[in-house]
Amino acid sequence: MTDQSPLTELPFEKALAELEDIVRRLERGDVPLEDSIAIYERGEALKKHCEALLKKAEARIEKINLGPDGKAASVSPLDVET
C-alpha cells in the first residue's frame, strides 16, 4: 500500500521505496482501474520528487582539484550531464 505522505516530507529513500512498490503493484496487473490511475499519478509525483532531490544533491557535490603536488588545491562544481 502506498504511504500517501506529503512529498515534501519524504526523504529520497522512502520516496524511492514507495515508487518501487507502485511499480510492482502496477506490473502485477491485479489493481482495479481506478486504483491504477490513482497510484500511477502518485508514482509520477514521486518520480518528480526523487529527480528534484537528486538534482539538489548533485548541485551540492563539488569536485576536488588536485595541485601539482597531488594535494587538494581547490574545489569546483561537479560537471553533471543534464
In a domain, 1, yes or no: no
This prediction has a pTM of 0.70
Nearest partner of 57 among 45, 49, 69, 66, judged by Cα: 49
In a domain, 82, yes or no: no
Query: Domains in the chain: how many in total?
Result: 1
- Please name the helix (run of DSSP H) or strand (run of DSSP E) that holds residue 18, with its range, or none: helix 12-28
Task: Decide: helix, strand or coil at residue 63.
Answer: strand
CATH number of the domain within which 71 lies: 1.10.287
In a domain, 58, yes or no: yes
Residue-level pLDDT, tens digit, the chain, 82 residues: 455 678 888 999 999 999 999 999 999 999 999 999 999 999 999 999 999 999 888 777 777 777 788 777 777 766 655 4
